[in-house]
Structure 1
Amino acid sequence: MSRTVDLALTATAPMIWGTSYLVTTNLLPDGYPLTVAALRALPAGLLLMLLTRSLPPVRWLGRLFVLGGLNFSVFWGALFIAAYRLPGGVAATLGAIQPLIVLYLSSLLLGTSLTARNLTAAVAGIGGVALLVLGPEAQLDWTGVLAALVGAVAMAMGSVLTRRWQPPVSALTFAGWQLTAGGVLLLPVALILEPALPPLTLANTAGFVWLGLVGAAFTYFVWFRGIARLGPTAITPLGFLSPLTAVVLGWLVLDQALSPLQILGALIVLSCVALGGSSGKPAQAPVTVKP
């Protein structure tokens, strides 16, 4: 399969993630962020494990809980805290620093080069996201700011370690293992800190199915597959497509207006995605460890 097809397939993941805000606010019960995160991760992971009929070896459990914790438990938990305490534009702009963190961690752990092309795409992408989503009413809550930064670091570290700790199994299997581990870590925290969910409506059920089956099982399969085939530095700029999708959906579905600055930000984001995605593969192959 060509590199262009790999990039296009991987790009579907952040585009689908961009629907999460619309689905969460319109279809899910309000006030259950950790429960929603657990129900998004654990059923999706168990479904993928059932489909692949593959259980992780005991000696791989430590790595899997680290990866599941970074990519899902910490990232999704921090993401929800930031979303509740910050305007969406501030949270998205802070999260957009993730490509810069990935570039540094990849050079440190994977031996990749810090190229001018990648650095330009990462820095300009932050500016594009800011123009796209950051409004004049944005206010800072330092707990929310810290949560957004922790989430960005967790996802960046998880992406790089997913490449470094690449087991000789399919991306579908690896995604199932990580989602299950992340869900197992989230579930007891959600049960302790949040009340029980109310009886679910048909709309609630549809929202959970979308976020779990499509927004977790499918997207993380193609995302981890992209990390394995192209490396984290090539696919991380695709993450800028998530806030772009959210803004476009707001315009199409919620009848929200687009300002000239937002249109400029969208063009910058698309340019940075193209620039970052055209970079070469990492110089060092993933460290494949037998399960």
Structure 2
Amino acid sequence: MRWVALTAVAPVAWGANYFVTHEYLPAGSPLYGAALRALPAGLVLLALCGWRRPHGGWWWRSAVLGALNVSVFFALVYVASQLLPTSVASTVMAMSPLTMTLIAWPLVSERPRTAHLAGAVVGLAGVCLMLLPGADGVSVPGVLASAAAMLVSSFGHILTKRWNADTDVLASTAWQLTAGGLFLLPVAAVAEGPPPALSTPALVAFGYVSLVATALAFTAWFTGLRHLPAATMGLIGLLNPVTGVLLGTMVGTETLTVQQLCGLVLVLAGVMLGRPTRAGLRGAGRTPPRPGPHRCPAPDPPPSRPQPR
């Protein structure tokens, strides 16, 4: 269960990230906001792993995963955080359990268990209840941006699980974040002009977003992906909307309606319903080795000689 506890750090930090972005970071600069979140985190992790460089296929894999998990995902999350209340923005991401489960089936051969599917459906029902028409502050573009972020990240995380079996987690995470940040900087300069002026609270907020909600959270999440099945990871991710709702109501100015409260209860029920079994945790996270040119069949034993009498 230590892998479950470690992985839970990520969705809790991401749920708080919605609140910090909505309250303290400048609106109208999603590309710069995403770059300032990713690049410092990647450089810090690179320093921690001794500036280890990618090798072999990880040069292009880092670029692909950096684009999916960082560049596109961070920009969409920034837009969603500015357009939606914290509770709604983080709750849309609760659709990721079902999405990750379905994507993991063909990509990493993880057939979903009934309990995982049931938990994902119950959690999704809670999401739909919290997003029914009539909830205050729901922006259609914001919901679309959050849903797109969920789809992109789900696909990127399963690709990470598929490709990350024989690599150092810290180094691969560092290069994903660094590549994603480097992709974002020139696009931000062209699309948004000069970087926005940052106040002291915004600098402190970027420190949390980059070091805690990115460097620490993604390292914990990708470590969990190596040891836990994708369906379990998606259900742990339901702690994201729980954190967002609680922060939005306790710290922010948002109100928790009866409708949202019922949806929150369903989300928590989905987490409990699809919690992994002890036997599943022991073996589900292991990915069978894929054959490759470096794997050769063992030679046949030499024939035995008749012993002299």
Q: Over residues 89-109 of structure 1, what are the superposed CA-to-partner deviations in whole Å (9 max), with x where a residue is unaligned?
A: 665554333222211111101
Q: Over residues 131-174 of structure 1, what are the superposed CA-to-partner deviations in whole Å (9 max), with x where a residue is unaligned?
A: 34656146664x55554443222111111111110153332222
Q: State which of 273, 283, 301 in structure 2 corresponds to 1:275.
A: 273
Task: Quote the Cα distance in structure 2 between the aligned partners of 1:198 and 1:154.
Answer: 27
Any idea what SS the aligned residue of 1:169 has?
coil
Using the TM superposition, give the Cα deviation of residue 220 of structure 1 relative to its aligned residue in structure 2, in angstroms.
0.2
1:37 correspondence with 2:34: yes
Task: Quote the Cα distance in structure 2 between the aligned partners of 1:166 and 1:48.
Answer: 17
User: What is the aligned partner in structure 1 of residue 287 from structure 2?
Assistant: 285
Q: Over residues 188-224 of structure 1, what are the superposed CA-to-partner deviations in whole Å (9 max), with x where a residue is unaligned?
A: 1111111323432221110110000101000000000
Contact 2:161 2:225 (C-alpha < 8 Å) held by counterparts: yes
Greater fraction of residues in helix: 1
Q: State which of 8, 12, 35 in structure 2 corresponds to 1:11.
A: 8
Alignment of 1:151-190 (within 5 A): 151-190=149-188
1:146–1:136 CA distance, 2 compared to 1 (3 A): closer
Task: Quote the Cα distance in structure 2 between the aligned partners of 1:99 and 1:58.
Answer: 32
User: What is the aligned partner in structure 1 of residue 75 from structure 2?
Assistant: 77
Contact 1:48 1:176 (C-alpha < 8 Å) held by counterparts: yes
Any idea what SS the aligned residue of 1:103 has?
helix
1:196–1:47 CA distance, 2 compared to 1 (3 A): same
Single out whichever of 274-283 and 186-195 deviates more from structure 2.
274-283
1:230–1:134 CA distance, 2 compared to 1 (3 A): same
Task: Quote the Cα distance in structure 1 between the aligned partners of 2:125 and 2:207.
Answer: 34
Over the aligned positions, Cα root-mean-square deviation in angstroms equals 2.6
Single out whichever of 74-83 and 278-287 deviates more from structure 2.
278-287
What 5-or-longer segments of structure 1 have no aligned partner? none
Task: Quote the Cα distance in structure 1 between the aligned partners of 2:96 and 2:236.
Answer: 11
1:97–1:286 CA distance, 2 compared to 1 (3 A): farther
User: What is the aligned partner in structure 2 of residue 243 from structure 1?
Assistant: 241
Any idea what SS the aligned residue of 1:19 has?
helix
Contact 2:71 2:183 (C-alpha < 8 Å) held by counterparts: yes
1:90–1:208 CA distance, 2 compared to 1 (3 A): closer
Any idea what SS the aligned residue of 1:96 has?
helix
Aligned letter for 2:150? A
Task: Quote the Cα distance in structure 2 between the aligned partners of 1:97 and 1:111.
Answer: 21
Contact 1:27 1:207 (C-alpha < 8 Å) held by counterparts: yes
User: What is the aligned partner in structure 2 of residue 150 from structure 1?
Assistant: 148
1:105–1:136 CA distance, 2 compared to 1 (3 A): same
Aligned letter for 2:37? R
1:85–1:18 CA distance, 2 compared to 1 (3 A): closer
Task: Quote the Cα distance in structure 2 between the aligned partners of 1:174 and 1:229.
Answer: 16
- The two structures have a TM-score, normalised by structure 2, of 0.83
User: What is the aligned partner in structure 2 of residue 221 from structure 1?
Assistant: 219
User: What is the aligned partner in structure 2 of residue 206 from structure 1?
Assistant: 204
What 5-or-longer segments of structure 2 have no aligned partner? 295-309
Contact 1:133 1:243 (C-alpha < 8 Å) held by counterparts: no
1:260 correspondence with 2:262: no
Task: Quote the Cα distance in structure 2 between the aligned partners of 1:199 and 1:144.
Answer: 24
Aligned letter for 1:22? F
Task: Quote the Cα distance in structure 1 between the aligned partners of 2:92 and 2:146.
Answer: 6
Single out whichever of 172-181 and 123-132 deviates more from structure 2.
123-132
Any idea what SS the aligned residue of 2:238 has?
helix
- The two structures have a TM-score, normalised by structure 1, of 0.87
Using the TM superposition, give the Cα deviation of residue 252 of structure 1 relative to its aligned residue in structure 2, in angstroms.
1.4
Q: Say how many residue pairs are matched.
A: 286
Contact 1:172 1:221 (C-alpha < 8 Å) held by counterparts: yes
Contact 1:69 1:181 (C-alpha < 8 Å) held by counterparts: yes
Percent sequence identity over matched residues? 38
Q: State which of 64, 67, 84 in structure 1 corresponds to 2:65.
A: 67
> Is the radius of gyration larger for structure 1 or structure 2?
2
Q: State which of 45, 49, 56 in structure 2 corresponds to 1:48.
A: 45
User: What is the aligned partner in structure 1 of residue 192 from structure 2?
Assistant: 194
Task: Quote the Cα distance in structure 1 between the aligned partners of 2:128 and 2:90.
Answer: 8
Task: Quote the Cα distance in structure 2 between the aligned partners of 1:69 and 1:20.
Answer: 20
